[in-house]
Chain A
């Protein structure tokens, strides 16, 4: 069945350091979405990637979709304390309509 794994599960960084989380799917994805969940909060949609090799940026965040459409990454440059939270990738298997969520990466930023 569909599996979407994320690594690392946890990451602690000093404020100002960079951070990357990786998302890997066992099957080809039609597109991938990224969500952020603040501590005690609910997931909030960040971005969607559709094309093979696509790269999108949102200020200090860079999102990438792999050429084979089976992996994705989120890179944060110069982390800030406001970046704290759990980042989830979620993908649609090609031909299916259910969104499969990754296991999430919990980011802690130390001031």
Chain B
């Protein structure tokens, strides 16, 4: 079955450490996205990538970095510069960034920083 795999499901880190969240898809989608979800809030866009070796900042990119070296993979690094990193992180993909097709989401990674 095709889908999006995020790992790990739960992640714990000490303050001041960088941490990388994995996202892999086998849907052959060009566009990939990272969202952050906090209680009582909608999904907020961190970064997105329309194609390999290209990515753009979303609404809340500060303190995060990404790479897109392969079509299948879009890892997100939460750096020590992110002031409030504890959240639920969702990776998503869709066929093309400009086609308004629906998003397919991974199961998410819940990051806790203490």
What's the interface size class on A, roughly?
20 to 34
Q: In whole angstroms, what is the CA distance A97 to B33 when docked?
A: 12
Binding site secondary structure of chain B: loop
Are A44 and B97 touching (Cβ within 8 A)?
no
- Residue A59 interfacial (CB < 8 Å): no
Q: In whole angstroms, what is the CA distance A30 to B58 when docked?
A: 20
- Residue B95 interfacial (CB < 8 Å): no
> Would you give the shortest CB distance from A18 to chain B, in whole angstroms?
24
> Would you give the shortest CB distance from A100 to chain B, in whole angstroms?
8
Residues 83-101 of chain A, each 1 if its beta carbon lies under 8 Å from chain B, else 0: 0000010101000011101
- Residue B34 interfacial (CB < 8 Å): no
> What is A's interface to B at a CB cutoff of 8 Å?
4, 6, 9, 30-31, 33, 35, 41-45, 48, 88, 90, 92, 97-99, 101-104
